[in-house]
Amino acid sequence: MIARLLDALLLTERSCLHCGKTFKPETQGYLCRSCLLSVRPAESFYEPPELPGLDGLEYFALYEGALREAVKLIKFKSVKPLACELAERFRRHLKSYLDELGVPFVTFVPTHFLRRWRRGFDHNELMLKCAGLPALKLLKRVRYARPLAGAKKEERERRVRDAFKALGTLERVVLFDDVLTTGSTAVEAARVLKAAGVKEVYLYALALEPPAPLPPP
Ligand SMILES: [Zn+2]
């Protein structure tokens, strides 16, 4: 990571981890500009999962391509500058969702402090900060859980049970999270927010895991 960041500072050519083309890094040495610009609002509509306790749901794009690469680099390789690059992509889309609902604040699914300490930042919080949107921390993660990637729905639900504590309440709020898979995390976060007095919780996911293709007949 250090080598790539140094390269970004020195503008040494790197090859893009997604498409393989060489590019001169501007803020980071991982993904080229055209891959970053390919991260756009989803054009095709996939039906997101039914999520109890949520009053509405919007997502920015599907969890695939350069977006998937970027999220993994941010979360698992601690590539901080990519969080702000992504924020630049979804900022207007999330802002129009807030405006459409008339909800003034966005909150987020927080990272456990141990993971934040290891990564160096809370990626959801950082993305909202970079996006310059009015964000409030209403939840604290009080239970450390292994990453949910790859786990089945029941296992995900078990791992996120009682994972959050409310730090405050608002009448209506948009909850931001990075990747929506089964929705177990968002459902648990919404349950805790509602128990603390929030009347309406809307979910905005940066990326929706596309449904698995049907098996061949
Ligand atoms: Zn590329």
| Cα 67 to middle of ligand 1, angstroms | 11
Res. 116: pLDDT tops 80 = yes
| Cα 141 to middle of ligand 1, angstroms | 34
- In angstroms, the CA 59 to CA 177 distance is 10
Least confident segment among 108-122, 142-156, 175-189, 197-211: 142-156
Kindly provide the residue ranges of all beta strands, DSSP E only, lying in the chain, ordered along the sequence.
Answer: 14-15, 22-23, 56-62, 106-108, 139-141, 164-166, 172-180, 200-208
| Cα 41 to middle of ligand 1, angstroms | 18
181 vs 129, higher pLDDT: 129
| Cα 18 to middle of ligand 1, angstroms | 5
| Cα 8 to middle of ligand 1, angstroms | 15
* pLDDT for 215: 64
**Given pLDDT bands bounded at 50, 70 and 90, which one contains residue 8?**
low
Res. 9: pLDDT tops 70 = no
| Cα 191 to middle of ligand 1, angstroms | 39
Tokens of 70: 């970027």
Kindly provide the residue ranges of all beta strands, DSSP E only, lying in 54-114, ordered along the sequence.
Answer: 56-62, 106-108
* pLDDT for 48: 74
Mean pLDDT of 152-159: 79
Res. 185: pLDDT tops 70 = yes
Res. 3: pLDDT tops 90 = no
* pLDDT for 49: 73
* pLDDT for 141: 94
Q: How would you class 88 by CB atoms within 10 Å of its CB: exposed for 0-12, middle for 13-18, buried for 19 or more? A: middle
How do residues 56-105 score in pLDDT, each as one tens digit?
Answer: 999 999 999 999 999 999 999 999 999 999 999 999 999 999 999 999 99
Mean pLDDT of 176-198: 95
| Cα 34 to middle of ligand 1, angstroms | 6
Mean pLDDT, the chain, integer: 90
3 state DSSP class of 121: coil
Res. 197: pLDDT tops 80 = yes
Bridge-based pairing of strands 172-180 and 164-166 is unpaired
- In angstroms, the CA 194 to CA 191 distance is 5
| Cα 81 to middle of ligand 1, angstroms | 16
Q: What is the dihedral of CA 93, 49, 153, 162, to 10 degrees?
A: 60
| Cα 157 to middle of ligand 1, angstroms | 35
| Cα 63 to middle of ligand 1, angstroms | 16
- In angstroms, the CA 35 to CA 48 distance is 25
Where are the domains positioned within the chain? 1-38, 42-208
* pLDDT for 145: 76
Res. 147: pLDDT tops 80 = no
- The structural architecture, per CATH, of the domain 42-208 is 3-Layer(aba) Sandwich (3.40)
| Cα 22 to middle of ligand 1, angstroms | 8
| Cα 19 to middle of ligand 1, angstroms | 4
